[in-house]
């Protein structure tokens, strides 16, 4: 096969393509690594003092003088599609991939805690009369869910709203007790805020083929993992090691990764772009720009960089109010509590939003040492790591304004309630809090149309790409392939230009 780049080698280093990446989350880092190659000059600008976005390390100094490093944000990756596994293999980390405890997570319902039913999708059961489903929603709820098998099938696309679809087919018990806790934990959004086609791809067509929602779930899950949460992997030592390896490899390839570099403006200058950085007098000239920032920061930059041939339609889209991010406070507790050795709630719990806040205010809890053996192996017997998450979409998150002492006390109280085991302050040997901003999920109703319009505008402006969770979707399994595709398009842009010059 003839190399399409043959004869262009003399142009590679003489006229490098200058790419500026705005934002140093995982999307920006992955793109920087892929773009850092002969013929490209890559500069990444991150406003904060840390690279990696939500993939960060958390260093804990414990009361006995020992230290422990765990993940500060993301702790795992979804295995769907195989994209993350392929990338990890390229980074020579495949031998470090680990699987979580298959025991799975539990659900905290208003009146009890139960194991999450097996074999479902977003909490929708494949077998409504299974014993674990009955244990969660009772016989009345299970029999109502079973009526889904005899209801007429919906036509493809008839119902876009996930909450309405589940309630119509299976009833409120499934919606409130099974689906809502899962979507709140995964997307920080209620089921009626989610688009079926995005949150559960293929579900509507499968429903039409099988004639029931439970049958559709069973078809889509055929051959898949049976335990809730088992379709994920981790890295021994923490997912933060993935970001660290990408950073190291990108720099080794020649990419310049700058922290403390806040971008204040982006404009077009002919076929180039000018990127203005706070505290820097002269702008950075670039042939191409890739933006990996939250939507609130990305949209103003795009407004001044994209070509608007839609008689103001693009400006209206970019300047219209977009859904706000959800503030999430993650609290990590290290406890000397042998009572937790039995992992009484599996690998953790997702908490129904109908649970009385006087009982517990956390939306989820992960029993880290029960979930990941690599964490437990670092600790003495009886020592455990618990992580609690605070902040639900559409609600004020009072954890954000609490003092460390108050939040520590609340987290300990919530952990005790969720585990159903008394826990005292004397057991706490480590505490940390980290705040993240969760993007409005791609699966939110209406977001697909907004992003489609934005994507069409980006395509009309050669040299501009956008990536990150708010456009790619939740998690590394969405962000990594999206960023790599964006980087590939920018590489292709260079070769097309060089081909024109060489012809």
Contact 211, 153 (CB under 8 A): yes
- SS3 category, 70: strand
CATH class of the domain comprising 9-51+241-323+442-502: alpha beta
**pLDDT at residue 10 greater than cutoff 60:** no
Mean pLDDT for all residues in the chain: 88
pLDDT band at 363 (very low <50, low <70, confident <90, very high): very high
The fold of 76-82+89-103+326-438 is Polyamine Oxidase; Chain A, domain 2 (3.90.660)
At 227 the pLDDT is: 42
Task: Convert the pLDDT of each residue in 220-273 to its tens digit.
Answer: 888 444 444 448 899 999 999 999 999 999 999 999 999 999 999 999 888 899
Sign of CA dihedral 137, 142, 144, 145: positive
Strands 40-46 and 256-259: parallel
The pair of three-digit structure tokens given for residue 477, joined into one six-digit string: 């399994």
**pLDDT at residue 4 greater than cutoff 50:** no
**pLDDT at residue 387 greater than cutoff 50:** yes
pLDDT average, residue stretch 280-297: 94
pLDDT average, residue stretch 391-401: 82
Strands 263-269 and 272-277: antiparallel
Nearest to 492 by CA among 470, 469, 459: 459
- Count Cβ atoms below 10 Å from residue 114 Cβ, excluding itself: 19
Task: Convert the pLDDT of each residue in 367-384 to its tens digit.
Answer: 999 999 999 999 999 999
pLDDT average, residue stretch 295-314: 80
At 65 the pLDDT is: 95
Domain coordinates of the chain in residue numbers? 9-51+241-323+442-502, 76-82+89-103+326-438, 117-221
What is the separation of C-alpha 137 from the centre of its chain, rounded to a whole number of angstroms? 29
- SS3 category, 95: helix
Percent helix, strand and coil across the chain, each to the nearest 5: 40, 20, 40
Residue keyed to tokens 């997702």: 350
pLDDT average, residue stretch 130-155: 90
Rounded to a whole number of angstroms, the distance between the first and last alpha carbons of the chain is 19
Q: Where are the alpha helices (DSSP H) in 172-239?
A: 172-174, 180-187, 196-199, 203-210, 213-221
Task: Convert the pLDDT of each residue in 177-201 to its tens digit.
Answer: 999 999 887 777 889 888 888 888 8
- SS3 category, 61: strand
How far is Cα 465 from Cα 219, in angstroms, rounded to an integer? 36
Nearest to 141 by CA among 132, 151, 128: 128
**pLDDT at residue 316 greater than cutoff 90:** no
Q: Between 443 and 86, name the one with better pLDDT.
A: 86
Provide the CATH number for the domain formed by 117-221 in this structure: 1.10.3110.10
Nearest to 412 by CA among 396, 397, 431: 431
Task: Convert the pLDDT of each residue in 23-58 to its tens digit.
Answer: 999 999 999 999 999 999 999 999 999 999 999 999
In which order are the strands placed within the sheet that holds 232-235?
77-78, 232-235, 97-98
How far is Cα 410 from Cα 362, in angstroms, rounded to an integer? 9
Q: Between 140 and 197, name the one with better pLDDT.
A: 140
- C-alpha dihedral over 349, 355, 356, 360, to 10 degrees? 10
pLDDT average, residue stretch 312-318: 73
Q: Between 288 and 154, name the one with better pLDDT.
A: 288
Sign of CA dihedral 194, 199, 203, 205: positive
Burial letters 63-86, b for 16+ CB under 10 A, else e: eeeeebebbbbbbbbbbeeebbbe
Task: Convert the pLDDT of each residue in 398-434 to its tens digit.
Answer: 888 999 999 999 999 999 999 999 999 999 999 999 9
Burial letters 402-439, b for 16+ CB under 10 A, else e: beeeebbebbbebbbbbbeeebeeebbbbbbbbebebb
Task: Convert the pLDDT of each residue in 463-484 to its tens digit.
Answer: 999 999 888 888 899 999 999 9
Task: Convert the pLDDT of each residue in 80-118 to its tens digit.
Answer: 888 999 999 999 999 999 999 998 899 999 999 999 998
Return the HEC string of 421-482.
Answer: CCCCHHHEEEEEEEEEEECCCCCECCHHHHHHHHHHHHHCCCCEEECCHHHHCCCHHHHHHH
At 3 the pLDDT is: 43
At 501 the pLDDT is: 55
- C-alpha dihedral over 496, 454, 446, 177, to 10 degrees? 60
Asked if the domains 76-82+89-103+326-438 and 117-221 are classified in one and the same CATH topology, the answer is: no
How far is Cα 491 from Cα 478, in angstroms, rounded to an integer? 21
At 446 the pLDDT is: 73
- Count Cβ atoms below 10 Å from residue 338 Cβ, excluding itself: 12
């Amino acid at each position: 096969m003839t190399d399409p780049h043959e004869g262009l080698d003399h142009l590679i280093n003489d006229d490098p393509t200058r790419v500026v990446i705005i934002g140093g989350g995982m999307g920006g880092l992955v793109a920087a690594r892929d773009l850092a190659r002969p013929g490209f000059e890559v500069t990444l600008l991150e406003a904060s003092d840390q690279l990696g976005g939500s993939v960060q390390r958390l260093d804990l100094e414990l009361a006995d003088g020992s230290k422990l490093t765990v993940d500060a944000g993301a702790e795992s990756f979804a295995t769907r599609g195989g994209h993350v596994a392929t990338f990890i293999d390229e980074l020579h980390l495949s031998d470090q991939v680990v699987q979580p405890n298959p025991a799975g997570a539990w659900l905290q319902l208003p009146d009890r805690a139960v194991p999450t039913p097996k074999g479902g999708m977003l909490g929708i059961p494949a077998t409504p009369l299974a014993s674990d489903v009955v244990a969660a929603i009772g016989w009345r709820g299970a029999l109502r869910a079973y009526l889904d098998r005899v209801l007429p099938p919906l036509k493809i696309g008839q119902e876009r709203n996930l909450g309405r679809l589940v309630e119509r087919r299976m009833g409120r018990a499934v919606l409130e007790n099974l689906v809502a806790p899962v979507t709140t934990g995964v997307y920080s959004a209620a089921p009626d805020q989610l688009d079926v086609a995005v949150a559960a791809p293929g579900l509507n067509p499968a429903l039409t083929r099988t004639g029931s929602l439970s049958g559709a779930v069973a078809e889509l899950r055929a051959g898949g993992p049976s335990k809730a949460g088992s379709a994920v992997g981790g890295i021994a030592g923490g997912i933060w090691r993935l970001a660290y390896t990408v950073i190291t490899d990108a720099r080794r390839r020649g990419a310049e990764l700058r922290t403390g570099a806040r971008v204040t403006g982006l404009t077009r200058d002919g076929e180039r772009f000018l990127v203005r950085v706070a505290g820097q007098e002269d702008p950075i000239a670039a042939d191409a720009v890739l933006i990996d920032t939250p939507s609130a920061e990305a949209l103003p930059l795009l407004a001044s960089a994209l070509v608007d041939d839609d008689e103001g339609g693009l400006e209206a889209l970019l300047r219209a109010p977009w859904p706000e991010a959800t503030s999430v406070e993650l609290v990590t507790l290290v406890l000397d509590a042998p009572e937790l050795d039995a992992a009484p709630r599996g690998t953790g719990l997702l908490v129904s939003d109908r649970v009385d806040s006087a009982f517990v205010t956390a939306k989820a809890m992960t029993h880290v040492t029960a979930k990941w053996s690599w964490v437990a192996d670092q600790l003495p017997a009886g020592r455990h790591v618990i992580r609690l998450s605070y902040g639900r979409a559409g609600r004020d998150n009072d954890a954000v304004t609490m003092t460390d002492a108050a939040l520590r006390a609340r987290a300990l109280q919530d952990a005790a309630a969720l585990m159903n085991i008394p826990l005292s302050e004397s057991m706490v040997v480590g505490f940390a809090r980290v705040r993240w901003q969760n993007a409005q999920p791609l699966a939110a109703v209406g977001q697909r149309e907004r992003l489609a319009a934005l994507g069409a505008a980006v395509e009309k402006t050669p040299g501009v790409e956008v990536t990150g969770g708010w456009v790619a979707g939740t998690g590394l399994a969405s962000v990594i392939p999206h960023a790599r595709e964006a980087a590939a398009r920018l590489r292709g842009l260079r070769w097309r230009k060089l081909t024109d010059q060489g012809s």
